Amino acid sequence: MELISSTKTFGGWLKRYKHESLSVKGDMTFAIYLPPQAENQAVPVVYWLSGLTCTDENFIQKAGAFKKAAELGLAIVCPDTSPRGTDYPEEHDSYDFGSGAGFYVNATVDPYRHSYHMYDYVVQELPHLVEEHFPVTQKRSISGHSMGGHGALICALKNPGCYQSVSAFAPISNPTQCPWGHKAFKGYLGEDQATWEEWDASLLVANAKEKLPLLVDQGEADDFLVEQLKPEALEAACLAADHPLTLRRQPGYDHSYYFIASFIDDHLEHHASALK
């Protein structure tokens, strides 16, 4: 791994690294916050998945999470949102597909199937890398925002026993039924919509082998709420499957990092409770 930067904050260290990824067949960048407790002992990890157009830097610069993470003794790992350095047709043409929009799936359609395996990267490769090179335990939790909220939910639902807890801010809850999901899934997975279903949290809930409680915050003033996010679909699915869900609808809040910063402490405490 190549160290890009190292900054001390709240007694711990925020570091950014670049490394060669086998999953995406190219270089990837991630950030890790190590709390002060990591100087003397291994600490648990919260993985944060960011949304459309983001990199690893959006969360570390805007969420205001490190004071609470230092208090709770949590490491936070922030991967990028897609492979970089490729130049496929249409890859850089829009904000909601291709570069910065990997959707945390394993692509099966040419040419994206050659490198857009963000699901494998997040679930398998990155945790193994982190656990090998940093003072962390194998206890993991996962969270994210928007596209990353979708990613956090599907990673937890598809991998029983892998995560101690899961949460999401304004997740794309039912991507098979929204424009963002249709565009991404068609481009990465092809025309057969039956193959899309294994990447939709609202559909995965019905057959989840582990009923890990879901914590979701959703701003009621979110411009994407009705057309793209569809929390009511996740709510209905959890009710039908008797899957524990805490869905907090927050009046006046939008889709921005101001919303995330307002409630990130609650989510970190949720994860700390499960991790410890």
Please write the tens of the pLDDT for every residue from 232-261. Answer: 999 999 999 999 999 999 999 999 999 999
| Residue from 145, 150, 243, 255 carrying the catalytic annotation | 255
State which residues form the domain around 19: 2-275
- What domain count does the chain have? 1
Q: How many CA atoms lie within 13 A of 17 on its CB side?
A: 18
CATH number for the domain spanning 145: value is 3.40.50.1820
Instruction: Name the amino acid, one letter, at 263.
Output: F
Flag residues of the chain having pLDDT under 50.
Answer: none
Report the SS3 class of residue 6: strand
Picking from 272, 219, 276, 208, the residue whose alpha carbon sits closest to that of residue 245 is: 208
Q: Is position 146 annotated as part of the catalytic site?
A: yes
Sign of CA dihedral 178, 55, 248, 141: positive
Determine whether 255 is an active site residue.
Answer: yes
| Residue 50 known to be catalytic | no
pLDDT for residue 2? 97
Nearest to 147 by CA among 184, 115, 196: 184
What is the structure's pLDDT at 276? 86
Find the catalytic residue in 99, 143, 146, 165. 146
**Cα–Cα distances in Å, from 28 out to 17, 23, 78, 186, 199?**
8, 10, 11, 24, 23
Region at 109 (left for phi over 0; alpha for psi -120 to 50; beta for the rest)? beta
Annotated catalytic residue, options 115, 202, 222, 270 = 222
